[in-house]
């Protein structure tokens, strides 16, 4: 199996992928499936079933649109962009189908007297943090995960989220502020 942190960005590989070479498809999958799965899983409240569906949709869409891939970004960036769109589609669909009532997704239901990090055990604090992250609007969650979990530079995030780097900086500031507020932590500045 390929190293999950490696990247494959050479032109020949893309060419093979466009021609439907099964070994290229396998390489793409083995290199990126776990990373994409993790990325999606953390955006959908750690729901394995939903993550599996979205990862499947992501790879199917990627293979369908590989002919349009112009090597302007890294393959991983391109896959992240597709995955992020699929996550957004999922939430749109879910919202449309039923005015769902998932506790984790309802910001208003997060306890306003959330304990400050000083007074709770690490595990409990982690749970609070997880809940706070889940309660954020999707674009805040996505930008925070891409920046701090995936450790991507702003420029790359801007390609994934199809916004200008400046807009991403602003989004990050607002997302951090909102996360702190939901963790009941005094904001910076």
Partner 1 sequence: MANFTSEDEIKELLKSVCSPVAPSPEFRDQLLQDLTRGAEGATRPRWRQPRVLVPIAATLISVAIGYGIWLGQAVEATLLP
Of the candidates 31, 78, 98, 12, the residue with the CA atom closest to the CA atom of residue 86? 78
| 88/120 with CB nearer partner 1 | 120
CA angle 124, 130, 135 (to 5 degrees): 130
* Minimum CB distance to partner 1, residue 94 (Å): 21
Shortest Å distance, C-beta 122 to partner 1 = 8
Alpha-carbon gap, residue 57 to 35, rounded angstroms: 15
Residues within window 103-142 making contact with partner 1, judged by CB under 8 A = 117-118, 126, 129-130, 133
Contact 78, 147 (CB under 8 A): no
* Three-class secondary structure of residue 159 per DSSP: helix
Task: Name the site residues for partner 1 (rule: CB under 8 A).
Answer: 17-22, 25-26, 29-30, 33-35, 37-38, 41-42, 46, 48, 51-52, 55-56, 59-60, 63-64, 66-67, 117-118, 126, 129-130, 133, 144-145, 148-149, 151, 176, 179-180, 183, 185-186, 188
């Amino acid at each position: 199996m390929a190293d999950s942190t490696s990247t494959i960005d050479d032109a020949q590989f893309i060419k093979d992928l466009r021609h439907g070479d099964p070994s290229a498809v396998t390489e793409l999958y083995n290199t990126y499936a776990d990373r994409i799965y993790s990325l999606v899983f953390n955006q959908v409240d750690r729901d394995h079933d939903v993550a599996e569906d979205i990862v499947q949709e992501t790879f199917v869409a990627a293979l369908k649109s590989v002919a349009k891939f112009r090597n302007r970004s890294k393959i991983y960036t391109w896959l992240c962009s597709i995955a992020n769109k699929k996550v957004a589609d999922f939430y749109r669909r879910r919202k449309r189908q039923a005015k769902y009532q998932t506790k984790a997704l309802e910001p208003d239901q997060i306890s306003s007297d959330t304990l400050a990090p000083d007074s709770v055990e690490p595990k409990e604090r982690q749970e609070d943090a997880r809940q706070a992250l889940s309660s954020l609007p999707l674009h805040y969650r996505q930008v925070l995960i891409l920046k701090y979990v995936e450790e991507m530079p702003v420029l790359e995030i801007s390609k994934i989220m199809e916004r200008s780097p400046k807009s991403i900086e602003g989004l990050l500031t607002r997302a951090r502020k909102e996360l702190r507020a939901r963790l009941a932590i005094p904001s910076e500045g």
